[in-house]
Structures are given as structure tokens and as C-alpha cells.
Amino acid sequence: MNKVIGDANQAISDIGDGATIMMGGFGLCGIPENLIQALRDQGARDLTVISNNAGIDDFGIGILLEKRQIRKMISTYVGENRLFEELVLKGELEVELCPQGTFAERIRAGGAGIGGFYTPTGYGTVVAEGKETRPFGGKHYVLELPLKADFAFVKAHWGDSAGNLVYRKTARNFNPLMAMAAKVTIAEVEALVGPGDLDADTVHTPGIYVNRIFEGIDYQKRIERRRVRD
């Protein structure tokens, strides 16, 4: 099945207000730049965004925050975005912070059809407030529920017309998990190839999880915080 579509604008044209969207990436590495830009231009609002972080003030998810398109974020680390902090403190943005390992496992559980799992992470802290806790083998655990989404935006290095994806190095991060946990997965790739051009043994995300795919353009690939020696 050919899942190729024209561009990012076509890919997100049916996303409406109030949608829940997973967005891959770690910091600014492996983020779906084209899809985020297209969503900003399209203007959908009251979004719930599930992402490891919130980008920076003028790039990545930060550009959606600038237009006040996001109502709630479920994230792990948001310390590089001043606007995010301002919006939360003003009560204009709801946030659910989640330990990073728990965050990854909640997404994996969503894609695997698991109804919940127990983890010792967060027991006895604010992370456990309002959640069921149980002892196992003399140790206390917190019940965490899976994360799912209406749409997942993922970024891969290579992809083929059937939706098979190959990620490059650390850009792999949360993308494969998110591709499994959404009703509609949209993939942008740096190089789009034909069926059979990818070595099957190298495929990270099988095409069965991908609904739409296109070749992205004009990638900036910014570094979140550059540090160099004198």
C-alpha cells in the first residue's frame, strides 16, 4: 500500500481543535520539524501534546506555545522553554510532568494494549498523589496508566512508500514508541525511497504502524544548547 502524501500541510489537514498529539524527539533531536510548522500554520487549538519536552522559545513545540495552541502538555523535562514556564505560572497552560522512564513505558503500554503497570518510580512523592499504590515483595509501587493519542508526529531518517521507517542514531528516541500508540501516525522522513529499498533487518518501525508518510524539507536540526571550549 502506498502511504505517501504530498507534504506536511496535507498530512495534518484533518487535525481539529482538542486533538491529542504525540510528538517525537528528545530536546531538539529527531523532532518532526515540518509537521510542527504545518500545525502552527493550520491553527488547531486546545491541543493536548505528549512530548518529552517543550522545545525552546522559538523552535519546535515552542512555536505552538507562542500561538497559544496547546491547552495541556504531558512531558518529562521542560526547563529550556521560558514561555512554557510563564504560561504555566499564569494558569494558561496545564502540565502533567512524568518521570522519563515512566513516560516511555506509558507510551509503550499504550501501543502494546496494556491497561496499566506498577513502577517504584515516584512512590512517596507528588508523582504518586491520587494514584493507586501497592506493595510487591516488600517494596511499594505506583500504578501508572498508558498514554495514547489521536495522532503521532514522528521523524525518521529513511522511509519507504509502505511506511517502514529507519531512524538515525539518537534521533530514534521516543519516535518508535509513539508510532505505535496513536490512532493515526504521520511520519516525515529525510529520504523517501521505494518499496524494497530498505533492508528489512534495519527497519525500526514497521509500516503497519504508519498511516501517512512524506519527505520533509529544509531541516534546521538545531542544537538545544551548544557548549564549546575556549
Output the pLDDT for position 80: 83
Output the pLDDT for position 227: 77
Q: What pTM, to 2 d.p., does this model score? A: 0.94
Output the pLDDT for position 129: 94
State pLDDT tens for residues 141-170: 999 999 999 999 999 999 999 999 999 999
State pLDDT tens for residues 13-65: 999 999 999 999 998 999 999 999 999 999 999 999 999 999 888 899 999 99
The CATH number of the domain covering residues in 8-215? 3.40.1080.10
CA distance 179 to 165: 10
Domain boundaries, the chain: 8-215
CA distance 93 to 52: 16
CA distance 26 to 7: 23
Antiparallel, parallel or unpaired: β 133-136 and 117-119: unpaired
The most distant pair of C-alpha atoms in the chain lies apart, rounded to whole Å, by 56
Q: What is the full DSSP assignment across 85-154?
A: HHHHHTTSSEEEE--HHHHHHHHHHHHHT---EEESTTTTSGGGTTS-EEEETTEEEEEE----EEEEEE
